Amino acid sequence: MNISQVKRILRNYLSDRASDKEKMLIEEYLQQAWENKELPADADIHRLVVLDNIRKAIRPKVYLRWISAAAASILILVLAGTSYNYRDEITEWIHPMPKILVVAEKFRIKKILLPDSSIAILNAGATIEYPENFRGKFRAVRINGEAYFDVVPDKHPFVIESPNLQIKVLGTSFVVTDSNTTLLPKVSVKTGKVAVAAANFTQQISADEELIFDLFKNQINIVHHQDINTDWTTKSLVFNDNSLKEVFAILTDLYKIQIRCKDVDITNQKFTGAFEANDDLDDILRILEVSYRLHILKNHDGIIIK
């Protein structure tokens, strides 16, 4: 049987013109698929993606037709005065912009291009939530953890909400370190000017300055002439005294390749170091090979380390 025969059989089957034998072929194929189906390990991730797509597709469109004409006209009169100021909030309320959530897992550094071409780089463990498109007066994102921002200048201020701070900028580069667990949230400015606000203060800082908010004493400290450390932003993976076992596990996950190492003396060794964003798997393996005098063999179904 060749492709054109299969095409014909499928066409017949779908238009209900298939012979008994053709029907039997397709039904047997389906039956076998049903009996031999197996759930891949990543099925649940796909479930979340599809669920999200379905939600977007079935989101009700809001029409005002359920409001009677009288009620509508009163509403319009009331809204007319105030709605101009709140038009963005109203739009957001009626038709919320879908949000994107990105997580930088353990050991991973993630670079994200935001809808306005600004760049956000998440340090390991950080998360960012931003809209599919920026709309309204502000470009607003929400973060938790450490993140570097390089904001493209625009008349719409760029606003970052972190657990303890609110940061407003026009176009600069800076690092925000704030999470649900930290006691010392801080903002370090590389270029330009940044306005930082929290519950009881608003403060502007400029290049090479660092604002540290001491949650315990409830006071802010500003460090001048600070050399802002952004070395990590060019990395893709960062390890700090982690076992090679963990390193191999993350490489397996990242490059979808099997790494086998039976020797516990090797896998228990600790590794501290970072890999550049443009290092590929071979570069990484070469570094490990040299540092630990390993023998790394590549074959068709994976990598063997001795």
Q: Which of 16, 17, 41, 57 binds other proteins (CB under 8 A)?
A: 57
Instruction: Answer yes or no: are the C-beta atoms of 34 and 21 closer than 8 Å.
Output: no
CB of 4 to other proteins, least distance (A): 9
Total of chain residues touching other proteins, rule CB under 8 A: 35
Nearest to 251 by CA among 91, 105, 33: 105
Cross-strand pairs, 149: 120, 174
Nearer to other proteins, 55 or 260 (CB): 55
Q: Which of 16, 17, 58, 81 binds other proteins (CB under 8 A)?
A: 58
Nearer to other proteins, 265 or 301 (CB): 301
Nearer to other proteins, 95 or 306 (CB): 95
Residues 6+ apart with CB under 8 A from 280: none
CB of 20 to other proteins, least distance (A): 10
C-alpha to C-alpha distance for 176 and 122, rounded to whole angstroms? 10
Q: What is the pattern of x (binds other proteins, CB under 8 A) and - over residues 212-251?
A: ----------------------------------------
Instruction: Answer yes or no: are the C-beta atoms of 213 and 184 closer than 8 Å.
Output: yes
Footprint (CB under 8 A) of other proteins, residues 29-48: 29-30, 32-34, 36-40, 43, 46-47
Nearer to other proteins, 29 or 292 (CB): 29
C-alpha to C-alpha distance for 175 and 153, rounded to whole angstroms? 17
Footprint (CB under 8 A) of other proteins, residues 1-30: 1-3, 6-7, 10-11, 13-14, 21, 24-26, 28-30
C-alpha to C-alpha distance for 173 and 152, rounded to whole angstroms? 9
C-alpha to C-alpha distance for 122 and 229, rounded to whole angstroms? 14
C-alpha to C-alpha distance for 90 and 45, rounded to whole angstroms? 33
Instruction: Look up tokens 């463990």; give the residue.
Output: 125
CB of 15 to other proteins, least distance (A): 11
Say whether residue 49 binds other proteins (CB under 8 A).
Answer: yes
3-state secondary structure of 275: strand
Residues that bind other proteins (CB under 8 A): 1-3, 6-7, 10-11, 13-14, 21, 24-26, 28-30, 32-34, 36-40, 43, 46-47, 49-51, 53-55, 57-58
